[in-house]
A and B are shown apart, each in its own frame.
Chain A
Amino acid sequence: MIWGVLQFPGSCDERDALHACEVHGDGARLIWHESRDLDGVDGVVVPGGFSYGDYLRAGAIARFSPAMEAVAEAAAGGAPVIGICNGFQVLCEAGLLPGALLRNAELRFRCHQVELVEEISGERLSIPAKHGEGRYYAPEEMLDRMERDGQVAYRYAEGHNSNGSARDIAGVTNERGNVLGLMPHPEHAVDPLTGSTDGLRVFERMSKVAA
């Protein structure tokens, strides 16, 4: 499995995502935001950071980039797409995922290790989160429908929902399940030396989508 990692001006975690994809998969390469061509990759990571500065609204400009047009096509074709943090915000802005991310309830950026529970397996993952706009929001009836259709991928474990996300939601998928967005950073949890390796489980989940 070859991953492509988008690079916008203002991306921060693209090298970390590239490294995580290399640890997990068979290779990875950066894809420049102006490229309409995904260079034959099997899956795409839209990484964290502050694309185009995010001065307007997180992800609001990145969604218009040529690379995002290519990602939308790939997603429609069933390719796995993971949006992490700012990438999650971009995918929501692009309409590839339901809902939106609002400012944290405490109105402060927060970086800390959080526990997630994968909805399907009940597996607990320890992964860092770091964001100022990570409070997941969707209208109640949409949340009901997402829960019914299995679109809630990860929830914060009890006591770990520090941003005030609706129904403790940390990550969601599209209806087909091939597009995943989550606020915590699995790419920062692939090396025991820097904390944990639980992030690899997220990449494994999404590479199964491609298989």
Chain B
Amino acid sequence: MTVETPKYRELGLTDSEYELIVEKLGREPNDVELAMFSLLWSEHCAYKHSRKLLRRLPTEGERVVMGPGENAGAVDVGKGYAVAFKVESHNHPSAVEPFQGAATGVGGIMRDVFAIGARPIALLDSLRFGELDSVRSRHLLDGAVRGIGHYGNSIGVATVGGEIYFEEPYEHNCLVNAMCIGFAKTADMVRAAAAGVGNSVVLMGASTGRDGIGGASVLASAELGEGDEAKRPTVQIGDPFEESKLLECCLELLEKGLLVSLQDLGAAGLTSSAGEMASAGGVGIDIDVAAVPLREADMEPFEIMVSESQERMLAVVEPARVAEVRAICEKWQTASAEIGKVTEGGAIRILRDGEVVGEMPVEALVDGCPLYDLEPAEPGGWIYGNRATLAAGATAAEELLALLSSPNIASKRWAFEQYDFLVGSRTVRRPEQADAAVLQLPEADNAIAVSIDGNGRRVACDPYLGTIEAVLECAQNLACVGAEPLGLTNCLNFGNPEKPAGAWQLDRAVSGLADACNALGVPVVGGNVSLYNEGPDGPIYPTPVVALVGELPDAEQVAGSGFARPGDAIGLVGPFEPNLAGSELAKQRGELDTGLPRSDITAVAQACEVVRGAIRAGKLSSAHDASDGGLAIALAESAIAGGIGCRVDLQHLRERGCSPEEALFGEGPGGFLVSGERTALEDLGAILLGEVGGEAIEIAAGDRSLTVSLAAATSAFQSLPAQAERGDA
């Protein structure tokens, strides 16, 4: 005799959640209803372990056009235009099948942006893999980069920036976070609320197949482990050509004012988009699954309702305009079908040829999932591994080269050259030309800058301070190109929130995010949460990825990160207090441990303002923040980017109580490395460090002084291709 697991448990619902569903329905759910509830009540859709925490985040600001709860956030950039943006994870699908996982991550985030009526103008991505000496990590990196390129390049949206880190804890559970930026006339933007009883519900785009069924519950809300191969059928397949047509079609429909509302189909497919549209509009919706165009003839109603086939959008259209809408769909060779009606009352009804096969109160389905309090407990120390890779007794010059060739620090040119970063003619600063991507907006007569950042290792050292540092680094990157932050979005990638340590990391990180945003006066306009990122060896580093969009009045004034003129003075601006805790050097020496020094957010914000002003006034030749690898690496990066060496003396940092080693490779927020006229630097209150020139990086730092030729430094910095493609020929 075998004991059967109840179906709802296999679908990820707990006993008490199931009892609550029965109570709300007044009966047992049938298969269609159970499938729909299990998806909308999954962590991925319901944010049941994070929603309470997220209430801490500030979401209001003068420039906010759309905030959390919409498909994407948006900020006003002047002259009647808005910039929309959002970042979303596609971690688990990418860990199972990196090419399609990453590609559909890009496709999904673009749909979120054009769903509100904004034309996608740029993409960024934040990726995490295990160390590159692992075959699996190289496979995941190669697949994810190809997948991002495949989708973004084919659809003609520029991939202008991003970041990649390689750390052991991501070995089994890589992270693929994709961000899309859109541009819209504010007046043309739409919200996703269904309205108008009797209006038609029109499904546009690709036909519906069995791909991605159960993706939300089976993949997105459970830890990865053995038997991932068996999950491959739940990974969706992307078709950028279909999306390209759908994108143009939707933007034309919106421009002509033919849609009442628009919503993309993402996780949980029709179930979530219909449910969320009805919930936002306070109406009901009838869907006839027999009217949905299918790839496979014999699909069950529940399969149709939960399919995650890509490249589909759902629109509410007035009946008199359906013919015109469908004609524009035909022009773009995009399939369309009237699959339902907006109804009175608050029920979502699923019909097949007129027969009701499921009926649920929208409120119960969309907003009825219980929200849980976390039970956080601080772990008693460093819970991750850390193997030393740097030989003991290395000289400072050897350490500089080892850090420059670390895949975390080395140039990501190998990756970003696989992406079209130019299409759209807005890219004023290409990847690695400056600390933030800069996009011109001729329509609004200004420009925006965008940066995406998050150092999971430092967050693992201290989730609260590490998250603050991520926000500060992002703000510093914007300051380096003269931009002022308008809004922030984020993707919180964490482990299992039901475990005390995971709960503690998440709780502390959200507090850090809230405090940093409040101190900087930057509203959070949207976000995404990805939990249960764990493998057989344990959780990932807690990885809040934050992205800031800022504005700058004149893109012509933007300096790059590279030294520009021999003879320029080099200076340090900001309250930089370098420390080896959590640093790249500490990692390579196998010395990682908990704890980070406290950072002074206000002082960093003031330094950002100083640098921003100097860039806008055209007073600096270069600006670069001191980040991974510390000041020595920032100097080397500016030298390599400019093709000119430098001579500096870091003894001046002694006044801040730094040892020579900390001055060279210590990390922490608040440091800007700038170059320009000596008097201009003095006006900024910079500590003068030295001068641009020569063919070498010469750094005096007491008993750790070093000289490395520019050629050797460049060669180490450009070593990623060899590391990424080794043994893969």
Residues of A within 8 A of B (CB): 9-13, 15-16, 19, 49-50, 52-55, 108-112, 128, 130, 132, 185, 187-188, 191, 193-195
B555 within 8 A of A: yes
Provided the pairs A9-B244, A12-B155, A109-B418 are in contact, do residues A193 and B423 lie with their beta carbons within 8 angstroms?
A: no
Per-position binary interface string of chain B over residues 421-462, scored 1 when its CB falls under 8 Å from any chain A CB and 0 otherwise: 111111110100000000010000000000000000000000
A13 touches B154 (CB 8 A): no
B241 within 8 A of A: yes
B240 within 8 A of A: yes
Q: Which residue of chain B has its CB nearest to the CB of A110?
A: B417
Query: How many angstroms between the C-alpha atoms of A194 and B149 in the bound complex?
Result: 21
Known: A9-B333, A10-B241. 5 other contacts (CB 8 A): A9-B245, A50-B154, A109-B149, A128-B422, A130-B420
Query: How many angstroms between the C-alpha atoms of A172 and B420 in the bound complex?
Result: 23
B419 within 8 A of A: yes
Query: How many angstroms between the C-alpha atoms of A11 and B420 in the bound complex?
Result: 14
Query: How many angstroms between the C-alpha atoms of A140 and B65 in the bound complex?
Result: 60
* A108 cross-chain contacts in B, Cβ below 8 A: 146, 418
B427 touches A13 (CB 8 A): no
Query: How many angstroms between the C-alpha atoms of A128 and B426 in the bound complex?
Result: 14
Q: How many residue pairs between the two chains, A and B, have CB atoms under 8 Å in the bound complex?
A: 84
Partner of B425, one of A19, A52, A109: A19
Partner of B156, one of A12, A55, A194: A12
B153 within 8 A of A: yes
* B248 cross-chain contacts in A, Cβ below 8 A: 9
Some 22 contacts from A to B, beta carbons below 8 A apart, are: A9-B333, A10-B154, A12-B153, A12-B155, A12-B156, A12-B423, A13-B156, A16-B423, A50-B240, A50-B241, A53-B239, A109-B153, A109-B419, A109-B420, A110-B417, A111-B420, A128-B422, A130-B422, A187-B425, A188-B425, A193-B556, A195-B422
* B424 cross-chain contacts in A, Cβ below 8 A: 15-16
Query: How many angstroms between the C-alpha atoms of A196 and B426 in the bound complex?
Result: 13
Minimal beta-carbon separation of A49 from chain B (angstroms): 6
Per-position binary interface string of chain B over residues 126-170, scored 1 when its CB falls under 8 Å from any chain A CB and 0 otherwise: 000000000000000000001001000111100000000000000
Residues of B within 8 A of A (CB): 146, 149, 153-156, 239-242, 244-245, 248, 332-333, 416-428, 430, 440, 555-556
Minimal beta-carbon separation of A6 from chain B (angstroms): 14
B422 touches A188 (CB 8 A): yes
Query: How many angstroms between the C-alpha atoms of A187 and B427 in the bound complex?
Result: 13
Residue in A10, A11, A53, A111 with the greatest tally of chain B CB atoms within 10 Å? A111
Residue in A50, A188, A193 with the greatest tally of chain B CB atoms within 10 Å? A193
Minimal beta-carbon separation of A98 from chain B (angstroms): 27
Provided the pairs A9-B332, A49-B156, A194-B425 are in contact, do residues A110 and B241 lie with their beta carbons within 8 angstroms?
A: no
Provided the pairs A193-B440, A194-B440 are in contact, do residues A9 and B241 lie with their beta carbons within 8 angstroms?
A: yes
Please classify the interface of chain A as helix (H, G, I), strand (E, B), loop, or mixed, using the class held by over half of its residues.
mixed
Query: How many angstroms between the C-alpha atoms of A54 and B155 in the bound complex?
Result: 11
* A195 cross-chain contacts in B, Cβ below 8 A: 422, 430
Minimal beta-carbon separation of B87 from chain A (angstroms): 22
A52 touches B241 (CB 8 A): yes
B240 touches A111 (CB 8 A): no
* A55 cross-chain contacts in B, Cβ below 8 A: 241
Query: How many angstroms between the C-alpha atoms of A11 and B149 in the bound complex?
Result: 16
Query: How many angstroms between the C-alpha atoms of A154 and B297 in the bound complex?
Result: 53
Partner of B421, one of A49, A53, A111: A111
Query: How many angstroms between the C-alpha atoms of A52 and B332 in the bound complex?
Result: 11
Query: How many angstroms between the C-alpha atoms of A188 and B424 in the bound complex?
Result: 9
* B244 cross-chain contacts in A, Cβ below 8 A: 9-10, 12, 50, 53
A191 touches B154 (CB 8 A): no
Q: Which residue of chain A has its CB nearest to the CB of B159?
A: A111
Minimal beta-carbon separation of B247 from chain A (angstroms): 11
A111 touches B156 (CB 8 A): no
* A111 cross-chain contacts in B, Cβ below 8 A: 416-422
* B423 cross-chain contacts in A, Cβ below 8 A: 12-13, 16, 130, 188
The 8 A-B residue pairs with the shortest CB-CB distance in the complex, in nearest-first order? A12-B156, A53-B241, A50-B154, A16-B425, A130-B420, A188-B422, A10-B241, A9-B245
Q: Which residue of chain B has its CB nearest to the CB of A112?
A: B417
* B240 cross-chain contacts in A, Cβ below 8 A: 50, 53
Minimal beta-carbon separation of B429 from chain A (angstroms): 9
* B241 cross-chain contacts in A, Cβ below 8 A: 9-10, 50, 52-55
Q: Which residue of chain B has its CB nearest to the CB of A193?
A: B428
Residue in B153, B155, B419, B428 with the greatest tally of chain A CB atoms within 10 Å? B153
* A53 cross-chain contacts in B, Cβ below 8 A: 154, 239-242, 244
* A109 cross-chain contacts in B, Cβ below 8 A: 149, 153, 418-420
B418 touches A194 (CB 8 A): no
Minimal beta-carbon separation of B670 from chain A (angstroms): 31
A193 touches B245 (CB 8 A): no
Minimal beta-carbon separation of B243 from chain A (angstroms): 10
Query: How many angstroms between the C-alpha atoms of A128 and B423 in the bound complex?
Result: 11
Minimal beta-carbon separation of A91 from chain B (angstroms): 20
* B422 cross-chain contacts in A, Cβ below 8 A: 111, 128, 130, 185, 188, 194-195
